[in-house]
Each structure stands twice: as C-alpha cells, then as structure tokens.
Amino acid sequence: MNRHLLSAADLTHDDAVLVLDTARELAAVSGRAVKKLPTLRGRTVVNLFFEDSTRTRISFEAAAKRLSADVINFSAKGSSVSKGESLKDTALTLQAMGADAVVIRHSASGAPHRLAHSGWISAAVVNAGDGTHEHPTQALLDAYTMREHLADGAGDLAGRRVTIVGDVLHSRVARSNVLLLHTLGAHVTLVAPPTLLPVGVATWPCEVSYDLDAPLPASDALMMLRVQRERMDAAFFPSEREYARRYGLDARRAALLPEHAIVMHPGPMNRGMEITAEVADGPRSVIVEQVTNGVSIRMAVLYLLLGGAEPA
C-alpha cells in the first residue's frame, strides 16, 4: 500500500482485498467485551475536519480508539481556521504536535493531496472526503458490505453488478466507488439525470444510464446517493417531486430488484427524496450495517498504514 490513502485509485486489487480481509478480522473486536487492541498505543491520530460530518468523524474516532491510538479532534469551527489560518499553518501546528496520521475532510477537492505531498507534515494522510472528489474509506466500507452479502465475505466482487443512482456530479462517494468496484472486478452502472453527471464521466470505468428502471432487474446492489442541496448553486432538476418520481427508490422500484439484491445509502438520507422511508427501513436495506462496517474498515486502514515500520 502507499503511505497515504488519498484516492480509491491508490489501491491495487491485492491492497483492496487485504484491507477488506483485515477489516473482517477486526470486526470481531467490536463484538468482544474488551473492544480494544494495543496495536497503535502511543500513536497520535488527528481528525482534521474542515467540513461538517457526523458518522465519518465518529467512525474514525472509534476506530483509532479501538486500536489504542491517541485521538485529537480538530474541527474548523471554533479553531484558528475561523480566524483565517491557512491549511499550511494548521499542518505545521499538527507536525509540531507529533501527529502520526491525519484524517482530513475538506470542502476543497485535492486538499488531502496537498497536505500529503507539500512536505509540511510527515504523518500519513487519510482522505475522509474532499469536496466533490473522493471518499475512499466510504468506498471500502461499501465494498465490504457488498462482499459480505454477495460474495460470502471473501475474495473480490468479480462479475457483481452495482447500480449507483443520483447526484453523481457532487458525489465523492460515487467516484471512489466506481474506481474501487472496478478494481475489484464489479460492473458499475451510474444512473442520473444528465445535469447531475460530471464532465468526463464517459472516461470512467462504468456504464451510464438516464433510466433507473432498466438496470434494476440485473443489479446485485443498488446504491442511492444523497441529493447534495448544499452544493447546488443552480437548478439541476425542475422539482424535488419530479426527481423523486424519476430517480427516487420506492417500493415499486425495489420490487424490480432480484431477490438477493441489497439497497445501500452512504447517509445522511433525504427520506422521501432519493429513497422512501419504506425502502430505507425495509428488509433489503443494509444502511445501518454500512455504518457498523465503517469502523472495521477504518481500523483496518489505520492499522495497515501505521501498524508496521512501513505500510503493508
């Protein structure tokens, strides 16, 4: 593995399977009475969050603590960033405090890359979501969840069909998932209105469709993306009702899926918009499981980056 995890494309097939296998062993720790391993004792993990997040920050914090690392949480609100401190000066502060890993979320695409390659810090950098670019640990936990349900929790996802629906344009989850799922051998179909597809999507290793009903009968996993209204500065679709009608997942559409198919959502959900409450809480939904698996995946990533003299 590379020294940093900045993009899902950094992971080779073997790296990705190693992360998933490691996460599977570490998942057992969460079920024990003593939910702790001594592995990263004395190491410092900084959660550097320039953007709001609930589950990702908590998930990284729980993962680091279960490996006995010291965790420093840094959020832009209430820090010197709101006084105008630059990313560089924040990084130099972290370096001076001896951070071994920095988990960064930033609204600017490429901020983690800048942090990792600027020479400001010597810590390993983990991208926890940068702008509309990437969110590799989300893709890993999604792949883990799919592998548990569709491949008996072993190997890769060769030949599985995954359909990702919704606001691909603003979604870092979609990009990371397409890259990682392709690495793991799955076929990905993106479904979105033309206005919510990024420029250059034709070069991604996936298919693109404007119609949701068509790919459903052949899908093993269906991932609904959140409509990111906070990033929308223009009208991308006529009305929420029309979006929900054409690209939302309701019980009728869910019934078109094969018997074994699972329904996923990276959260937070807009219930009634991209997914109805009935489907989100239904038997095919693995949305809560995704959150649980997130802790195991992040433990695996932190262990593989920090556990040895060099990354695995």
Binding site for another protein (CB under 8 A): 18, 21-22, 25-26, 28, 32-34, 36-39, 303-312
In the complex with another protein, which residue's Cβ is closer, 24 or 106? 24
83: annotated active-site residue = yes
Cis peptide, bond prior to residue 283, ω within 30 of zero: no
Identify whether the C-beta of residue 73 lies closer than 8 Å to the C-beta of residue 94: no
Provide the minimum distance between the beta carbon of 169 and another protein in the complex, in angstroms, as a whole number. 36
Closest CA to 44 of 112, 110, 144, 124: 124
First-to-last alpha carbon distance for the chain, in angstroms, is 6
Q: How many CB atoms lie within 10 A of CB 31?
A: 7
CA dist 244 and 101 (Å) reads 41
Provide the minimum distance between the beta carbon of 138 and another protein in the complex, in angstroms, as a whole number. 22
Q: Residue 244: which residues within 8 A CB-CB, separation 6 or more? A: 250, 272, 273, 274
CA dist 208 and 44 (Å) reads 42
Q: Determine phi and psi for 157, rounding to 5 degrees.
A: -115, 30
In the complex with another protein, which residue's Cβ is closer, 67 or 94? 67
Provide the minimum distance between the beta carbon of 151 and another protein in the complex, in angstroms, as a whole number. 17
In the complex with another protein, which residue's Cβ is closer, 204 or 303? 303
55: annotated active-site residue = yes
Identify the residue whose tokens are 């901020």.
Answer: 111
Q: Determine phi and psi for 21, rounding to 5 degrees.
A: -65, -45
DSSP class of residue 259 equals T
In the complex with another protein, which residue's Cβ is closer, 39 or 109? 39
| Residue 156 identity | D
Provide the minimum distance between the beta carbon of 5 and another protein in the complex, in angstroms, as a whole number. 13
137: annotated active-site residue = no
Catalytic residue among 56, 90, 137, 183: 56
Identify whether the C-beta of residue 202 lies closer than 8 Å to the C-beta of residue 218: no
Catalytic residue among 105, 113, 160, 226: 105
Distance (Å) of CA 301 to CA 25, 203, 207: 13, 28, 29
Provide the minimum distance between the beta carbon of 137 and another protein in the complex, in angstroms, as a whole number. 17
Catalytic residue among 4, 24, 133, 135: 135
In the complex with another protein, which residue's Cβ is closer, 22 or 137? 22
Q: Is 163 helix (H, G, I), strand (E, B) or coil?
A: strand
In the complex with another protein, which residue's Cβ is closer, 21 or 85? 21
Provide the minimum distance between the beta carbon of 310 and another protein in the complex, in angstroms, as a whole number. 5
CA dist 167 and 36 (Å) reads 38
Residues labelled as active-site residues:
55-56, 83, 105, 135
